[in-house]
Amino acid sequence: MIDEPLKLFAQRLYHADYLHGYKTLEELWTLGILDALAVLDFAKLYGVVLDIGPGGGLPGLVLAISLPNTRFVMLDSSQKACTFLQSMCHELSLNNVEVVHGRAEEFGKSNREAFDAVVSRAVAETRILVEYAAAPLKLGGTVYLWKGPAWREELERANRAVAELGLEFLGVHRYLLGDKQRVIIALKKIKETPLRYPRKPGIPEKRPL
């Protein structure tokens, strides 16, 4: 049963309040756990998946619990987040997860075209995220980005970056969580990302494409 480990994870994450801003366990379940699972309503994740900036494990750890035959690499620059994720993997006996402490820019340089999919939720603006995600993604692979109401404006600002990095817009999955409108943007890698990307740590955020 997947529900039991998900419930245990939700309880542990709720008590690790330095990793999230949810006010109640119910809010974390709806706006965190169910939000992470929404991608499975329209996408199949297989092979090896990279989660950039999972923090306390959203969406990657939730997806890893739900998809035991898919491998997940959880990349986060916060040592506290990585320590929590490692403890959860041990407690839940997850053998399909690798936790990596590091910067997305440096990781992308040394792990080019290694992943079948990249996921990221609430980490940065779209034009910044695509620079983190493009290089590690295999040709033909897909990026899934969880976004809020401003997704259209973000996507418009990201048009140049998407083209420059070898990606193309696939579509948008819209859904409601309670009264909140949520969106997952999907982009496909159609050509190799130029070797100059990602740029040095901090540059994508300071000077987005």
pLDDT tens column, 95-117: 999 999 999 999 999 999 999 99
Q: What is the pLDDT of residue 179?
A: 86
Average pLDDT over residues 183-197: 97
Q: What is the pLDDT of residue 127?
A: 96
What's the pLDDT band for 180 if we cut at 50, 70, 90? Answer: confident
What's the pLDDT band for 149 if we cut at 50, 70, 90? Answer: confident
What's the pLDDT band for 77 if we cut at 50, 70, 90? Answer: very high
* φ, ψ of residue 188 in degrees (nearest 5): -110, 145
Q: Using alpha carbons, select from 196, 202, 170, 192 the residue that is nearest to residue 183.
A: 170
Architecture of domain 3-206: 3-Layer(aba) Sandwich (3.40)
- For residues 129 and 27, give the distance between their C-alpha atoms in angstroms, rounded to a whole number: 26
- For residues 118 and 136, give the distance between their C-alpha atoms in angstroms, rounded to a whole number: 8
Predicted model pTM: 0.96
Domain boundaries of the chain, sorted by first residue? 3-206
What's the pLDDT band for 187 if we cut at 50, 70, 90? Answer: very high
Average pLDDT over residues 7-21: 95
- For residues 137 and 72, give the distance between their C-alpha atoms in angstroms, rounded to a whole number: 13
Residue 152 CA neighbour count, 13 Å, CB half: 3
